[in-house]
């Protein structure tokens, strides 16, 4: 039996090898194409990395507040009879905000004035009584002095008669005794008169103290009655009004609040991650939308709320025309001076305190992806902490569509 053998055809083998080679080449071309995508230079924007000394400022937000505020409270029980000023109105220290009425307080003032008048009249009557007593003492002293003069005269006569041998010795002794007794009486009476004067002074002082206390009570009540006309007390504007017409109020109850308009401070919310680096007296640049004014930090709280720390700043320059309490502002607070810092101008897409992949231009006119670490943003300058060197250029335009490529070729 004859067996027929089929002869192999080598061209088929070579065809398969060629096809496989072409397929691998196409795959390699495709991969190579993805890694070296081309982009037109006209579609790109660049930022050049600069280096130098940089003042680091923290961005903060806040509002103006009155440097002086006055809380108006009820001086006594009363009822709101009249409201003359509403919130937002400019006021002076003597501007009456509202009227309170209290008939009982009026009665107390009248009664206290009547009691004071009575005490003053009693003091005057007491002074006249004591003056009469002084006159009585002075009269008795005058009588005793007259008796002494009479006794001294009799003594002189008896001494003369004794020299002539007419008067007896007993009469002379009796005259001397009379002078001595009357002199003692005069001394005692003068001591009594002196003590009376001192006692009268103490009694008058006691009455004066009582009158002074009553005058203070009258002044207090009259001041309370006058304070029922609630006045602003300071120059500024009425910020809040907490009562309504006809409302009854208690002693010490809050009625309204007045704040200064020209004397302002700034209340700022500092970022938590930078608050501990900011010192007291740190300079502040305050943007009011109508200009930049300078200030400095005077107080920083330690409590963190919603990722920020509350601080206060005093204004060092003249206010802008739109400055008023509660006006929202933005500010930049000095943190530190940093030497030899690499930075770029801030553009959209670059986030402070982050790591991002960016395209960097090489000397071969290629764009290569690098990971860059950004630091603080200070006055539109974004600090670069790692990933780039001074003089390098990074693409600042939107390149999200090319993020899958590690390298791009620039087409002029």
Is 341 in contact with 389 (CB distance < 8 Å)? no
What's the CA gap between 57 and 296, in Å, rounded? 13
**Tens digit of each residue's pLDDT, the chain (412 residues):** 344 444 445 555 556 666 666 666 544 544 444 446 888 888 888 888 888 888 888 889 999 999 999 999 999 899 999 999 999 899 999 999 999 999 998 899 999 999 999 988 888 888 888 887 877 777 777 777 777 777 777 767 666 766 666 556 777 677 777 777 777 887 787 788 888 888 888 888 888 899 999 999 999 989 888 999 999 999 999 999 999 999 999 999 999 999 998 889 999 999 888 888 899 999 999 999 899 999 999 999 988 888 889 999 999 999 888 888 888 999 999 988 888 888 888 888 888 888 988 888 888 888 888 889 988 888 888 888 888 889 888 888 888 888 888 888 888 7
What single DSSP character describes residue 186?
H
Q: Which pLDDT value is given to residue 18? A: 60
Q: Which pLDDT value is given to residue 21? A: 63
Domain locations in the chain? 37-64+263-411, 68-102+229-259, 103-227
Class of domain 37-64+263-411 as given by CATH: mainly beta
Is 284 in contact with 379 (CB distance < 8 Å)? no
Q: Which pLDDT value is given to residue 36? A: 62
Beta partners for 60?
331
Class of domain 68-102+229-259 as given by CATH: mainly beta
Report pTM.
0.59
What single DSSP character describes residue 4?
P
What is the CA angle 184-186-189, rounded to 5? 110
Is 377 in contact with 349 (CB distance < 8 Å)? no
Cβ-Cβ contacts under 8 Å for 388 (sequence gap 6 or more): 49, 342, 360, 370, 372, 394
Q: Which pLDDT value is given to residue 6? A: 44
Report CA torsion sign: 368, 369, 370, 373: positive
Kindly provide the residue ranges of all beta strands, DSSP E only, lying in 50-183, ordered along the sequence. 50-66, 69-73, 78-83, 90-91, 96-101
Angle at which helices 103-164 and 169-227 cross, to 10°: 170
Q: Which pLDDT value is given to residue 34? A: 45
Closest by CA to 87, choosing from 230, 240, 231, 236, is: 240
């Amino acid at each position: 039996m004859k067996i027929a053998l089929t002869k192999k055809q080598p061209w088929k083998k070579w065809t398969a090898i060629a096809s496989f080679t072409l397929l691998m080449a196409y795959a390699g071309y495709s991969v190579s194409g993805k890694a070296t995508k081309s982009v037109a230079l006209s579609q790109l924007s660049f930022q050049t990395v600069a280096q130098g000394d940089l003042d680091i400022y923290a961005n903060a937000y806040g509002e103006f507040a009155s440097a002086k505020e006055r809380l108006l409270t009820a001086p006594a029980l009363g009822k709101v009879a009249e409201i003359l000023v509403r919130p937002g109105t400019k006021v002076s220290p003597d501007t009456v905000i509202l009227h309170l009425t209290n008939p009982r307080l009026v009665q107390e003032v009248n009664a206290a004035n009547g009691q004071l008048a009575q005490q003053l009249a009693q003091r005057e009557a007491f002074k006249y009584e004591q003056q009469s007593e002084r006159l009585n003492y002075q009269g008795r002293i005058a009588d005793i002095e007259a008796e002494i003069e009479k006794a001294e005269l009799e003594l002189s006569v008896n001494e003369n008669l004794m020299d002539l041998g007419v008067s007896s010795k007993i009469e002379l002794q009796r005259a001397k005794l009379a002078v001595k007794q009357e002199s003692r009486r005069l001394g005692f009476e003068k001591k009594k008169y002196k003590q009376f004067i001192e006692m009268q002074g103490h009694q008058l002082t006691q009455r004066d103290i009582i009158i002074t206390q009553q005058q203070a009570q009258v002044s207090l009540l009259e001041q309370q009655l006058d304070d029922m006309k609630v006045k602003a007390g300071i120059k500024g504007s009425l910020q809040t009004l907490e009562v309504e017409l006809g409302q009854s109020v208690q002693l010490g109850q809050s009625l309204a609040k007045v704040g200064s308009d020209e004397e302002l401070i700034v209340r700022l919310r500092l970022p938590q991650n930078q608050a501990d680096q900011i010192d007291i007296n740190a300079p502040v640049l305050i943007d009011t939308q109508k200009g930049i004014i300078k200030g400095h930090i005077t107080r920083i709280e330690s409590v963190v709320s919603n990722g920020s720390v509350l601080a206060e700043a005093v204004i060092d320059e003249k206010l802008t025309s739109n400055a008023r309490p509660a006006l929202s502002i933005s500010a930049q607070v000095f943190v530190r001076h940093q030497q030899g810092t690499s930075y770029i101008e801030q553009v959209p897409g670059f986030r402070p305190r982050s790591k991002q992949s960016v395209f960097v231009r090489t000397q071969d006119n290629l764009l290569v992806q690098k990971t860059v670490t950004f630091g603080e943003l200070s006055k539109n300058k974004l600090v670069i902490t790692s990933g780039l060197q001074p003089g390098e250029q990074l693409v600042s335009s939107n390149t999200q569509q090319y993020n899958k490529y590690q390298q791009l070729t620039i087409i002029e």
